Amino acid sequence: MDGDPKPAAAQYAYDIIRARILSGDLAPGERLTEQALASELDISRTPVRDAFSRLTHEGFVERGQGYSTRVASFPEDELEQIFEIRRRLESYAAARAAQFATADEVAQLQELCDRMAAHIPPKSAADHRIISTINEEFHRVIAQAARSPRLMAVLSLAVDVGMVARTYYSYAEADLVRSARHHQEITDAIAAQAPEWAENVMSSHVLAAAASAAKTESG
């Protein structure tokens, strides 16, 4: 087990644990132990520890008292705060992207919209993973197109990747259709160089995600 190449083993551990959190197999608040997961995955504890570190940074897991690690959970008030901060930052990013995005970035956003539409409605867990990954990439391109290193830095701290991904896994078909429609309209607004339009649609997009996340946590 200890002979596994570290990067490959750590990526393997990360992918499996992340997928189990997203599927609900590992529930919010559930305790995670390096030894148990290492044995289950047939790898050493070091790559599991590396995976925990990455998942903690992304908001999928959280450190408890002492050395305990648990699947992250989000109290309702914290959810509201996180999504409101995200709404304000990402709306501003979309407005700036409408001013500064290159033709290549607009084309990239359109390609991502087309790829997302091809997997909706999702027919498998693989489709859900693809949709979630495309969503993360879509928002990353917009942040990049905003041409503000300071905004990028703040977004990297404020946007909880784990929460965003878990929200996507909880979406009903109608939610996914709406989200894809928002992505297309945001792309249209950026292509039209219309900052206010882009800002308003992004605001609606994040508010819809917040409502879905609150419904999932309360359910």
Going by pLDDT thresholds of 50, 70 and 90, the confidence category of residue 85 is very high
What whole-number distance in Å separates Cα of residue 5 and Cα of residue 1? 10
What whole-number distance in Å separates Cα of residue 28 and Cα of residue 71? 5
Residue 173 · residue 123 · CB < 8 Å: no
Residue 108 or residue 126, greater confidence: 108
- Please name which of 15, 22, 73 lies closest in space to residue 47, comparing C-alpha atoms: 15
Q: What is the pLDDT of residues 51-72, one digit of tens each?
A: 999 999 888 899 877 778 999 8
Residue 1 · residue 44 · CB < 8 Å: yes
Structure confidence at residue 2 (pLDDT): 46
Structure confidence at residue 53 (pLDDT): 94
Q: Give mean pLDDT, residues 86-115.
A: 98
pTM score:
0.74
- Facing residues of 31 across strands? 70
From the number of C-beta atoms within 10 Å of its C-beta (0-12, 13-18, 19+), residue 16 rates as: middle
From the number of C-beta atoms within 10 Å of its C-beta (0-12, 13-18, 19+), residue 13 rates as: buried
What whole-number distance in Å separates Cα of residue 147 and Cα of residue 41? 41
Tokens representing 55 are 């998942």
The total number of residues shown for the chain amounts to: 219
- Please name which of 71, 48, 51 lies closest in space to residue 60, comparing C-alpha atoms: 71
| Number of C-beta neighbours around residue 166 at 10 A | 24
Tokens representing 129 are 């993973």
Taking the alpha carbons at both ends of the chain, their separation in whole angstroms is 40
Question: For residue 61, what are the CA distances in angstroms to 6, 26, 39, 131?
Answer: 21, 10, 19, 21
Tokens representing 199 are 């800002």
Structure confidence at residue 157 (pLDDT): 77
Does the structure show a pLDDT above 70 at 218?
A: no
